[in-house]
A and B are shown apart, each in its own frame.
Chain A
Amino acid sequence: MRKQQTGQSMDRVDGRLKVTGGAKYFADHHMEDLLYAALVCSPISSGTIKSIDTTKALRAPGVADIVSHLNAPRVPAYQSAKAGDKNGLQIFKDDRIYSNGQPVAIVVANTLERAVHAASLVAVQYNQETHYTDMNASMGKAFQNNRMKDYLRGEAGAWEKAAVTHSATYTLPLEVHNPMELAGIIAHWTTPDTLTLWAKTQGVKSVQETIQELFQLPEQNITVHSQFVGGGFGMALRIWPLEIATILAAKKIRRPVKLVITREQMFTLVGYRPSATQQLSIGATAEGKLTGITHQAVAITSPYEDFTEGIVAMSKFMYACPNVDTKYQLVPLNISTPVWMRGPGEATGSFALESALDELAHKLKMDPLQLRILNHADIDPERNLPFSSKYLKEAYALGAEKIGWSARKPVPRSTEENGMLVGYGMSSGTFGAYRGKATVSATLKADGALILQSAAADIGPGTATAMVQIAADVTGMPPEKITFMLGESAYPFAPEQGGSSTVSTVGSAVTDACKALQQQLGTMAIAHIPAFKGSTPETIIYEDGYLLPPNRENKITPEALLQQQQLPEVKVTATSQGGPERKKYSMYSFSVHFAKVLVHPATGVVRIQHIVSVADAGTIVNSKTARSQMIGGVVGGIGMALTEEAILDHRFGRFVNNNLADYHVAVNADTPPTDVYFINKKDPYINPMGAKGMGEIALIGFAAAISNAVFNATGKRVRDLPITPDKVLNTPVTV
């Protein structure tokens, strides 16, 4: 029997293309007559456009046209939008400016350089109005969106009556995704109502659907290509105004137009992790049993959309606690709309919850790991359902052993190495394990090649590789013969790559498609091959690339079967989605993070020396890409903990560090050896593979592990991320 492919450390099927430059990202595409675009963006944060003078810019060399609200083609859906509703930013609809950096015009020229230069010549006059970009100064405007109602289990505010209590405010700054690949699009109207797009997206079908609705065109008139994506982290989960602007420009000019935005524009046009302030209050008995958690969060959103995420989600079910109440409010500011950023709201919420638990443990004089084990939720206390699988306790034990948790001194500031204070910290993370609906087609060619197609995306985790492994195990075919194709709207439906759900959702459909293909081949063999006569498709054995009758006395390859029947190919399509299991079980992935940090007492510099992250994410389909995925999440977590913060000057509503030199993404020198371990036990209910999601849990909780370790090292509790040297210096020792 051939070895099982899932669980192997298979190289990426597109690895060679990526490292040799053969992978074509959206901006790599070229076509005849292609024009290049640059955006003119508002330097004011609220008001209206008084005038746009394009005289000079239109005279600049190579300029084809300049499109703004004054001359943009009509967008049918804009007209049908209800007045007074939050309809998002309807680009080029009118003269209203909601935020700094909002595009006011798009300049199209025959080279990128000429477009950029001409954009600098467009003279825009504004009527400036008062803007609000400071959340703390705008708390009076906080409101609740209906999607995020107050939650109550047991008694509200029960923590206050506990024997031991802790309550504090935790704040996170605005973070920007900043993938290497800049956002943009190529828009090509091949006829006045037929549009082809090369997009940077986490979901070609959702792009197709959005454009279809906006321009009220039939689905088949819109083609979206997005085979390679240079990082998304959530920012490419929706269509942004910049893409609509390009589509409008291409429509007006009747030539294909390419837009690639600048790094600076990445801070204002494609979403961000919203800044948030959270009051986390927690109470326990003297023995450490939790009696109450109150989690109140306020986060920012734009004037024209309410963005909500799972900031308070984890507090509801992570620990066995009888009384939990949460509140989640939004403050609208004159900045663009936030969007999910890796580990979305849970990463924000877990910083508060997992820091607070550490603080409570300190007050209880308890090991923070023991406190978590003592309050382990054996069933989901929010939904009162069993977990489909949960090996969190094993993950705790494994992580503790690998970091050397026993070396941790309970009293902060009691260990030194070479003049550096040493601290250990840990935290937990969790994220829903999802399974959506997807369709996959499986085509077996007469030469024995199996081609799978689905409109899935790969923003980096190695989707196609995992799908090939899953298909190899179902079919018994060698992986070299299997190709998984994604990133085309013409392929069968797959949802966006988000919420750590692609392997679960699309992998299930791959499984079903491969089984359907086998069924068809089996039926064919029974009908035409004498040795198979009398068997049923279910009893036919698929092994090492052969079909065998139940008595194993014959075998035939699928390609031989096709050749015999003179068929060029056999094609099947299967749609898959989760069943009633989701109503019976609560499905989550879990992670634990352990860190050893060194803090320089005189300068406040924090260096992480060692990280151990353990994932309870069900079956691991590819141990290599899974490990890379975890490390990537950890690096994002280091940024969240120590370095990342987009800073606004509220006088202008403008970012002052909107470049990669000043917005500090963690670099190699910040990243210590990171040991990743997997529990690697199958979830029996979620999907045929038993695989739960992993992209989010890699980051969720991580920042708290670092801040807890900094406290253990220094006795200083930094509750305001990122933990920069000045904050460590300015925070008093509180032990």
Chain B
Amino acid sequence: MNQFSYVRPTSLKAAIEAVAKNNARFIAGGTNLLDLMKNGVIISDKLVDINRLPLKDIQLDNGVLHIGSLVLNSDLAEHELVKTHHPLLSQALLAGASQQLRNMATVGGNMMQRTRCSYYYDTTMPCNKRSPNSGCGALGGINRMHAIFGANDNCIAVHPSDMCVALAALDATVLVSGPKGDRHIPFTDFHRLPGNTPQLDNNLGKNELITAVEIPANNFTKNVYYLKVRDRASYAFALVSVAAALDIRDGVIQQARLAMGGVAHKPWRLPDAEKALTGKAPTVENFRIAANIATQSAKTYKHNAFKTALATNSIQTALLKATTV
């Protein structure tokens, strides 16, 4: 780790100004950034600690749930408004990391965390994300945890978050502030696919800061389930995860939302499967059809071929669990 300076501004304006100079970065919980700095993956000359900014509120306004970007993962998971209106988000949060990490990690930091691909973390190995044009170490290497959707030979890493999978399913919006003012980004457009710029994880502009996430009102309060399949029962990243939310009335699925984690460079929505479920009865057979549609475009690598069947099975399982609560 290199020597760096550290500032702790108390206003949004000061924070955005502070980050514009000296190869600076924001730090909130630091659960990922500190590891990256210790490993020499990220070298920053200045850290702008944003923990004193007033971005810790959770409120319901005209049905829209506003979540400040500094809300801790643990607080958000247990918040009454979240548990009542968006239980899928609560489930996803509790499936992530460990209690100790959730106690430190913030909403904005969770969105900004980097992939856990080993090749990204080991500075002696090739990685286009860490060091553009050095090659993808995982492509011909150990890729059991890697992407089956939306990847290319530049990068087959996956986004590690659970929370983001639920937020993608719930059509959240990201609020950001920057030198040029404020703007909104649909959650599903926030993270990127690798394309030709695998070094970029998301569409946040230079020196912009996430200030909040907003979730619109919905009817996904009853038939929801977040399924996380992992190598150990807690504190492990997903092999695959599924956020399933159904709005079932009169025995018919009025609306369906499906998103997956552990399968792509971003939280992976499954619009075709959602479409296949809409207007149908919540039956095992319909779930099977939707799951098969969802995984049609999967492309696997040497060690992750199991993920296609696992993803298909997990979607069905999540839908079944969502309807049997």
List chain A positions with a Cβ less than 8 A from chain B: 43, 113, 116-117, 120, 600, 602-605, 607, 642-643, 647, 649, 651-652, 654, 656-657, 661-662, 664, 666-670, 722, 724-726, 729-730
Contact = CB atoms under 8 A, between A and B. Distances in A.
A193 B137 CA distance: 48
Nearest to B3: A117
Given A602-B317, A603-B313, A643-B231, A652 B306 contact: no
Interface in B122-142: 122, 124-125, 137, 140-142
B141 A656 contact: yes
B235 interface: yes
Contacts of B306: 726, 729-730
B317 A603 contact: yes
Interface string B236-278: 1101000000000000000000000000000000000000000
Interface residues of B, number: 34
Given A603-B310, A651-B140, A657 B118 contact: yes
Determine chain B's interface SS by DSSP, over half rule.
loop
A107 to B, nearest CB: 14
A647 B231 CA distance: 14
A662 B116 contact: yes
Contacts of A649: 118, 125, 137, 141-142
Nearest to A606: B233
A642 B232 contact: yes
Contacts of A664: 231-232, 236
B309 interface: yes
Contacts of A600: 317
Q: Which 7 A-B pairs have the closest CB atoms?
A: A669-B233, A669-B234, A656-B118, A43-B124, A726-B306, A602-B313, A664-B232
B316 interface: yes
A600 B3 CA distance: 49
B235 A667 contact: yes
A607 B141 contact: no
Given A649-B141, A729-B309, A603 B232 contact: no
A607 B116 CA distance: 25
Contacts of A730: 306
B310 A116 contact: no
Contacts of B236: 661, 664
B8 to A, nearest CB: 20
B2 interface: yes
Contacts of B314: 602-603
Given A113-B1, A605-B229, A642-B232, 17 more contacts: A116-B1, A602-B313, A602-B314, A603-B229, A603-B317, A643-B231, A643-B232, A649-B142, A661-B237, A666-B232, A667-B234, A670-B232, A670-B233, A725-B229, A725-B230, A726-B239, A729-B309
Contacts of A651: 140-141
A113 B37 CA distance: 12
B2 A652 contact: no
Interface in B181-196: none
B58 to A, nearest CB: 27
Contacts of B144: 726
Nearest to A639: B232
B284 to A, nearest CB: 11
B160 to A, nearest CB: 10
A106 B124 CA distance: 19
Contacts of A724: 231
Given A120-B40, A652-B125, A656-B142, A667 B317 contact: no
Given A642-B232, A730-B306, A656 B1 contact: no
B119 interface: yes
A52 to B, nearest CB: 16
Nearest to A660: B235
Nearest to A642: B232
Contacts of B1: 113, 116-117
Contacts of B234: 667-670
Contact of B122 (A603, A656, A722, A726): A656
13 contacts: A117-B1, A603-B227, A603-B313, A605-B229, A647-B142, A649-B118, A651-B141, A652-B124, A661-B236, A664-B231, A667-B98, A725-B231, A726-B239
A125 to B, nearest CB: 14
Q: Which of A116, A603, A642, A662 has the most B CB atoms < 10 Å from its CB?
A: A603
A661 B239 contact: no
A332 B235 CA distance: 34
A526 B22 CA distance: 85
Q: Which of B40, B227, B236, B316 has the most A CB atoms < 10 Å from its CB?
A: B236
A602 B316 contact: yes
B94 to A, nearest CB: 12
A655 B142 CA distance: 10
A647 B143 CA distance: 11
A666 B116 CA distance: 20
A667 B124 CA distance: 30
A43 B87 CA distance: 46
Contacts of B142: 647, 649, 656
A724 B122 CA distance: 25
Contacts of B118: 649, 656-657, 662
Contact of B119 (A113, A604, A656): A656
Q: Which of B98, B119, B122, B137 has the most A CB atoms < 10 Å from its CB?
A: B122
Contacts of A647: 142
A669 B234 CA distance: 6
Nearest to B227: A603
A477 B280 CA distance: 79
B234 to A, nearest CB: 4
A668 B119 CA distance: 29
Contacts of B229: 603, 605, 725
A2 B304 CA distance: 64
Nearest to A113: B1
Given A605-B229, A654-B125, A729-B309, A661 B235 contact: yes
A729 B233 contact: no
A665 to B, nearest CB: 8
Contacts of A662: 116, 118
A649 B306 CA distance: 20
Given A603-B317, A651-B140, A656-B118, A729 B231 contact: no
Nearest to A603: B229
Interface string B202-242: 00000000000000000000000001011111111101000
A661 B1 CA distance: 20
Given A43-B124, A670-B232, A725 B310 contact: yes
B144 to A, nearest CB: 7
Contacts of A605: 229
A307 B118 CA distance: 29
Contacts of A604: 310
Contacts of A652: 124-125
B233 A725 contact: no
A117 B124 CA distance: 16
A712 to B, nearest CB: 21
A654 B122 contact: yes
A605 B228 CA distance: 10
Nearest to B160: A661
A661 B116 contact: yes
Q: Which of A113, A602, A654, A722 has the most B CB atoms < 10 Å from its CB?
A: A602
Interface string B307-319: 0011001101100
B145 to A, nearest CB: 9
Nearest to A645: B231
A116 B3 CA distance: 11
Contact of A654 (B124, B230, B235, B313): B124
Contact of A607 (B2, B231, B233): B233
Contacts of B40: 120
A669 B95 CA distance: 12
A730 B309 CA distance: 9
A667 B122 CA distance: 25
